[in-house]
Structure 1
């Protein structure tokens, strides 16, 4: 069994699961996903996506369940065996060393707790299919798209995006799109309402958005809206996005569309724990009720 415990925000989790499914497929291990409902993602996986056939088991749990769960996992895996249980720091160290995770093929029990992509993509679009209600919201919003460019502005607690992708650069890139290309509208996704309002004042009715019911990540409606934004961005012609944002990267990857950061020269991505690059080659990347299992 290959157990993946994805951490961080929504897209960090999706790319970690994507890696785990690809690795499990490569080395012949079924994949068990441990999905924590917490302040970073306040919803279950099954509230957002249909259950992928590639996932053998899905366990959803809240913070109060975490400590006991981790103790049981560590005992079951016998953490004295090196690298059977890889925390984020272990995954980062292995990535820094250029480790080939296929070398774990002699283990029959693995556990990764990470936000990193640690193996080649399996296929985001193939793996993560929104539930029907969210898919309908996506289709309704995208019906208005005509020569539409996606814009993703990440703010709140994401310091690298705030530092390296200032609003002025978005405005400049958007004006260039209108001047030099066939773009006539922008789909804007942002976690900052003031940014959305500024762009509406600047570009008027060329700005379209998905109306937000909440922007708090520990709220189910906010995460549903985030999934809608993510897939709407993926259906634009190209994306102007935020530096070091996994949301920007994943939106482009879903449909394999071009993307660029609204940024100047950027530092080494590994400074921020990044080791994966956008997969824009158009690669193609089960839902049942909540299940809480006691065996890892």
Structure 2
């Protein structure tokens, strides 16, 4: 059995679970996911997504959860993020490392280690999908996603400057005057600035909760992700898993503003 505890935010967890499922298939093994509700993502799995049958999801609310500790310390092998990173190349576990894995393996990581473009585990819950549909119906077939990552993401702040996004939107409108833009950002000042500059072209998930330490905030994060994924291409932020996953879900073009 593989026991995986994905860490980090929403998109880090999505790609970790996808990687673990690929590893489980490779081993013809069962997969159990320990979904930790904490300040990074404080929302149960089933509040975000449709039920899944191929993997077992266990919501936990502390790293001291007794069931989690039993699974962790009864495993034959335990690997953390650094060990996973040290034993992969080009996003894939080294073959000698993979073949050395024992029967029961516990992994805690935010790293992807078997890339997968299969996102069928992550179909939004009905209430969330209804809100996504309400937003995307107004975008039409000629829309562009804009993901501006701010707050604590130093690399995105330093590399993906606001004027770069403005220039990209202006260049898109020069060749595609009817384009509409869905903007997802964790900085309301960025959203307001773009609304003022391009009042007829900007669409957002309005009045959203930005805190990830809440169910409402995580619902809004998933809405932003899936609305970005519903566009035809994305102007995204540097080194952002949110940009990467949004583009990968429906295999759309990703242009990193850098």
What TM-score comes out, normalization by structure 1 length? 0.81
Q: Are 2:34 and 1:39 equivalent residues in the alignment?
A: no
The answer to which of 182-191 and 89-98 deviates more is: 89-98
- Uncovered stretches (5+) of structure 2, i.e. residues with no partner: none
Q: Which position in structure 2 is the counterpart of 1:95? A: 88
Distance 1:90 1:53, change over 3 A: same
Alpha carbons 2:2, 2:24 under 8 Å: kept: yes
After the TM superposition, which residues 10-29 of structure 1 pair with which residues of structure 2 at under 5 Å, given as runs? 10-29=10-29
Which structure features the higher share of strand residues?
2
Alpha carbons 2:5, 2:35 under 8 Å: kept: yes
Q: Which position in structure 2 is the counterpart of 1:127? A: 121
Q: Which position in structure 1 is the counterpart of 2:78? A: 85
Q: Which position in structure 1 is the counterpart of 2:59? A: 60
Distance 1:100 1:202, change over 3 A: farther
Alpha carbons 1:212, 1:222 under 8 Å: kept: no
Distance 1:183 1:31, change over 3 A: farther
After the TM superposition, which residues 186-225 of structure 1 pair with which residues of structure 2 at under 5 Å, given as runs? 186-225=181-220
Q: Are 2:146 and 1:165 equivalent residues in the alignment?
A: no
Deviating above 6 A after TM superposition, structure 1's stretches of 4 or more consecutive aligned residues are none
Q: Which position in structure 2 is the counterpart of 1:111? A: 106
Shift of 1:34: 0.2
Distance 1:153 1:73, change over 3 A: same
Alpha carbons 1:2, 1:110 under 8 Å: kept: yes
Partner Cα separation in structure 2 for residue 151 and residue 247 of structure 1: 11
SS at match of 2:64: helix
After the TM superposition, which residues 199-278 of structure 1 pair with which residues of structure 2 at under 5 Å, given as runs? 199-263=194-258
Partner Cα separation in structure 2 for residue 11 and residue 233 of structure 1: 13
Q: Which position in structure 2 is the counterpart of 1:274? A: none
SS at match of 2:225: helix
What TM-score comes out, normalization by structure 2 length? 0.93
What is the CA RMSD across the aligned residues, in angstroms? 1.9
Q: How many residues align?
A: 255
SS at match of 2:46: helix
Shift of 1:90: 0.6
- Uncovered stretches (5+) of structure 1, i.e. residues with no partner: 79-83, 264-296
